């Protein structure tokens, strides 16, 4: 077993530098308590503020640190006031996903009891589903490639779905459904698309069903994205593993975050065959940056996902134990309903939430 695990840390912009310190404290302590390999943090300066200062959003040296690390922990990147010349926002997280081929964006929709939730139905309080968002192509393929007619009469963007990425994405979803089934979950994968209107999605559905043949023990289902927007609000407890294209996944992850109470509760991981980035579903929240109000829970839970992934990858079961400890500490901190981050109308700021979780680690 390795004795140390190296992690590139990209705090980034806005609330990023506020939610990283409590997260690193919690991960360090959990690793120590679980007897896991110690975590070596390598800080990388990148993002919109860095671009405004230097003209580079993610320097080559930072990219090299990220490439050489065992995992990448990223808080948030981008500020509405700082843009590339074409008007799009600075988004090194998208560059990392493309550079390291991080095709599987894993977004758990798992509720934490004690957190105020939007759904009145009590079944909404025990959700445990996962949305997998393809993270390298799809409708985001057009980034930096938009065509605007010379006479300004139209603009067009291309969507691209590839067989190579789609097959790996679906295999990832089915493997996850199988692991979850072994732990008592339904064992079902729902493909979310718009195959009734867009031909590429009809093609994608065919690839999905081809992959499904290799997993006869897993149920499959295909659904249109508009219907899923309705169903995820009306009966989210009916879903197990969902898989979808990049942009649909971007939109539905925010819906999933709302089902958990808010963006400050929603962790995520972007996983490829050799690298992975762990970051909250939310962005840099410039409207509350600098006020110490941000809820660090999504960041902390993303760190737990990182420990789990590292543990499986490096044959270090103690790192998986540390991940479980962090998740339990988060649950314990919120359990009695007294810990209310600003996001839920309460007064607990970033430091208070971080401290509450740290104390529950023991």
Binding stretches for ligand ATP (CB under 6 A): 15, 78, 263-264, 282-285, 287-288, 294-295, 298, 343
If the CB atoms of residues 131 and 285 are measured against ligand ATP, the closer one turns out to be: 285
If the CB atoms of residues 114 and 264 are measured against ligand ATP, the closer one turns out to be: 264
* Nearest-angstrom CA–CA distance, 63 and 205: 35
Q: Residue 46 to residues 99, 168, 241: CA-CA distances in angstroms?
A: 15, 29, 33
Three-state SS for 94-159 is HHHHHHCCCCEEEEEEECCCCCCCCCCCHHHHHCEEEEEEECCCEHHHHCCCCEECCCCCCEECCC
If the CB atoms of residues 258 and 325 are measured against ligand ATP, the closer one turns out to be: 258
* Closest distance of CB 158 from ligand ATP, Å: 21
* Closest distance of CB 89 from ligand ATP, Å: 7
If the CB atoms of residues 15 and 323 are measured against ligand ATP, the closer one turns out to be: 15
* Closest distance of CB 252 from ligand ATP, Å: 13
* Closest distance of CB 49 from ligand ATP, Å: 14
Match 């600075």 to its residue by tokens. 90
If the CB atoms of residues 264 and 311 are measured against ligand ATP, the closer one turns out to be: 264
* Closest distance of CB 72 from ligand ATP, Å: 16
In sequence order, the 6+-apart residues with CB closer than 8 A to the CB of 179 are: none
* Closest distance of CB 310 from ligand ATP, Å: 23
If the CB atoms of residues 232 and 310 are measured against ligand ATP, the closer one turns out to be: 232
The helix (H) or strand (E) run that includes residue 86 is: none
Beta-bridge mates of residue 41: 7
Q: Which two tokens stand for residue 282?
A: 């939310």
**Residue with nearest beta carbon to ligand ATP:** 283
Q: Which two tokens stand for residue 265?
A: 């509760």
In sequence order, the 6+-apart residues with CB closer than 8 A to the CB of 235 are: none
If the CB atoms of residues 124 and 346 are measured against ligand ATP, the closer one turns out to be: 346
Task: Report strand pairing: 104-110 vs 128-134.
Answer: antiparallel
In sequence order, the 6+-apart residues with CB closer than 8 A to the CB of 345 are: 116
SS3 of 161, please? coil
Q: Which two tokens stand for residue 172?
A: 């990832």
How far out from the chain centre does Cα 53 lie?
A: 28
* Closest distance of CB 192 from ligand ATP, Å: 19
* Closest distance of CB 195 from ligand ATP, Å: 26
If the CB atoms of residues 70 and 250 are measured against ligand ATP, the closer one turns out to be: 250
């Amino acid at each position: 077993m390795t004795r140390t695990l190296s992690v590139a840390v990209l705090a980034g912009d806005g609330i990023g530098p506020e939610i990283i310190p409590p997260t690193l404290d919690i991960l360090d302590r959990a690793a120590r308590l679980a007897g896991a390999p110690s975590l070596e943090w390598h800080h990388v300066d990148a993002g919109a503020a860095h671009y405004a200062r230097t003209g580079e959003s993610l320097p080559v040296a930072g990219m090299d640190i990220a490439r050489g690390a065992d995992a990448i922990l990223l808080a948030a990147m981008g500020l509405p006031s700082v843009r590339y010349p074409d008007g799009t926002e600075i988004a090194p997280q998208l560059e990392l996903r493309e550079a390291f081929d991080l095709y599987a964006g894993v977004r758990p929709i798992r509720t934490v009891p004690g957190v105020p939730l939007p759904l009145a139905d009590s079944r909404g309080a025990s959700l445990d589903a996962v949305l997998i968002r393809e993270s390298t192509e799809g409708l985001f393929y057009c980034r930096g490639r938009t065509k605007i007619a010379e006479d300004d009469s139209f603009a067009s963007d291309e969507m691209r779905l590839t067989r190579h990425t789609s097959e790996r994405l679906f295999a990832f979803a089915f493997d996850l459904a199988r692991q979850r089934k072994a732990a008592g979950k339904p064992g079902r994968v729902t493909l979310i698309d718009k195959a009734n209107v867009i031909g590429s999605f009809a093609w994608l559905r065919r690839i999905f069903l081809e992959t499904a043949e290799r997993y006869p023990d897993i149920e499959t289902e295909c659904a249109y994205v508009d219907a899923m927007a309705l169903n995820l609000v009306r009966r989210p407890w009916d879903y197990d593993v969902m898989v979808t294209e990049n942009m649909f996944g971007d939109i539905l992850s925010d819906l999933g975050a709302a089902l958990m109470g808010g963006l400050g509760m929603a962790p995520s991981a972007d996983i490829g065959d050799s690298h992975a980035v762990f970051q909250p579903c939310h962005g840099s929240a410039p409207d509350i940056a600098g006020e110490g109000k941000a809820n660090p829970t999504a960041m902390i839970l993303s760190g737990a996902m990182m420990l789990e992934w590292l543990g499986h990858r490096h044959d270090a079961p103690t790192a998986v134990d540390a991940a479980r400890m962090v998740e339990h500490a988060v649950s314990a901190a919120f359990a009695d309903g007294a810990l209310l981050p600003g996001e839920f109308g309460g007064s607990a700021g970033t430091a208070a939430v971080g401290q509450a979780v740290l104390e529950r680690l023991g």
